[in-house]
Amino acid sequence: MYSRARGKKLFLKFLFYIVITTIVVLWAFPILWIILSSLKTDNQIISQNLIFIFKPTIANYYKIFTSHNFNRFLVNSSLVALGTTVIVFLSAFPASYSMSRYKTGGDTMNLGILVTRIAPPAAVLMPFFIIFRYLSLINTLWALILVNISLNLSFALLLLRSFIDEIPVSIEEAAEIEGASLFQRLVLLIFPLARSGIITTSIFTFIFTWNEYLFAMVLCSSQKVKTLPVAAGDFVTAYAIEWGPVFASGTLILLPILVLTFFVQKYIVKGLTIGAVK
């Protein structure tokens, strides 16, 4: 009886690992395929046979940087993503603290934030376009930064608030008794204790902004202010598709996110766990 129960337990454990491995492979294979294809020639990419052993070439990367000015697109994406992340953090951190400790806005505020998360981005595309055209911000990086702030601020508020809710109020009360001001408690106490949440929120904001395509395509179509996701579409025309440069562009979009996630994954896992457990 014990042997049968143990055998069943081992079988279920084996089955679990098989399922997890399958999911990981299915998720990772497209990413690996994009990276490998960026190192192939166009003939190798469109070949009907799957080619895993080949002589790598960096010709596709050389082409996108020399003939399509990808240096500028890379800088544009970085400026928009970093600018949005910093401003969202500076806005969301004190606001989420106020919502957590002082119940600012009450249930009405929470409902309003949820509504902004439910609304599809395409629904506000035309209003944003009209406003930015009136303000002469079309084809400027500020237009993208402002849009991405509005798209990510509600998410940052909800996530950061959940982390601050986990911090005991008694710690702040003790600091207040010792004479710490509100600013000191916020910067020297809440900020370090909510570090995992802050890093998690900042990483997600950066990723969402880095990958944003719809508003970047409509609001910033000029070559001077294009971002990487939009610039990758330059290689798809009505006459031909340059597969090599397309995959090289995709790799450039993926790599910063993969590298960043690799180095901060412990903060993301820890942060999401703390924020989800009450």
Mean pLDDT of the chain: 86
- Residue of higher predicted confidence among 45 and 110: 45
Pick from 195, 177, 199: nearest CA to 187: 195
Q: Quote the pLDDT of residue 206.
A: 94
Of 221, 71, 83, 84, nearest in space to 140 by CA: 221
Distances (CA, A) of 248 to 38, 49, 65, 258, 259: 4, 20, 10, 15, 16
> Cβ(92)–Cβ(157) under 8 Å?
yes
Taking only the tens place, the pLDDT of each residue in 156-179 is: 998 898 888 888 888 888 888 888
According to the model, what pLDDT value does residue 236 have?
83
- The structure's pTM equals 0.85
The two tokens of residue 182 are 């509100």
The sign one gets for the Cα dihedral 31, 33, 37, 43 is negative
Q: 227 near 244, Cβ under 8 Å?
A: no
pLDDT at 255 over 60: yes
Average pLDDT over residues 93-102: 89
For 47-93, the pLDDT digits (tens) are 777 777 788 888 889 888 887 888 899 999 999 999 999 999 999 99
Token readout for 89 is 């953090």
Q: Is the pLDDT of residue 181 over 70?
A: yes
Tokens 């606001």 -> residue = 95
Instruction: Find the angle CA(123)-CA(162)-CA(260) to the nearest 5 degrees.
Output: 75
Q: Provide the CB-side half-sphere exposure for 143 (13 A, CA).
A: 27
pLDDT at 52: 74
pLDDT in the model for residue 272: 62
Q: Would you say the C-alpha torsion 225, 230, 233, 237 has a positive or negative sign?
A: negative
Question: Helix H segments across 38-68?
Answer: 42-45, 59-66
What would the pLDDT profile of 102-155 be if each residue is shown by its tens digit?
Answer: 887 776 777 777 777 777 888 889 999 999 999 999 999 999 999 999 999 988
Amino acid identity of 81? A
Cβ atoms of residues 219 and 138 within 8 Å: yes
Indicate whether 2 pLDDT > 60: no
Mean pLDDT of 193-202: 87
CA–CA separation, 251 and 23 (whole Å): 21
**Any residues with CB less than 8 A from the CB of 107 and at least 6 apart, and which?**
none
In three-state secondary structure terms, 40 is coil
* CB 157, CB 248: distance < 8 Å: no
pLDDT at residue 219 in the model: 92
Q: For residues 79 and 141, give the distance between their C-alpha atoms in angstroms, rounded to a whole number.
A: 8
Query: CA–CA separation, 101 vs 104, rounded Å?
Result: 8
Name residues whose C-beta falls within 8 Å of residue 216's C-beta, 6 or more positions apart in sequence.
80, 144, 226, 227, 229, 230
Cα(58)–Cα(203) distance, rounded to whole angstroms?
30
pLDDT at 69: 81
pLDDT computed for residue 261 by the predictor: 83
Q: Is the pLDDT of residue 209 over 90?
A: yes
- Contact (CB, 8 A) for 220 and 230: yes
Confidence at 24, pLDDT banded by 50, 70, 90: confident
* Confidence grade of residue 200 (pLDDT, cut at 50, 70, 90): confident
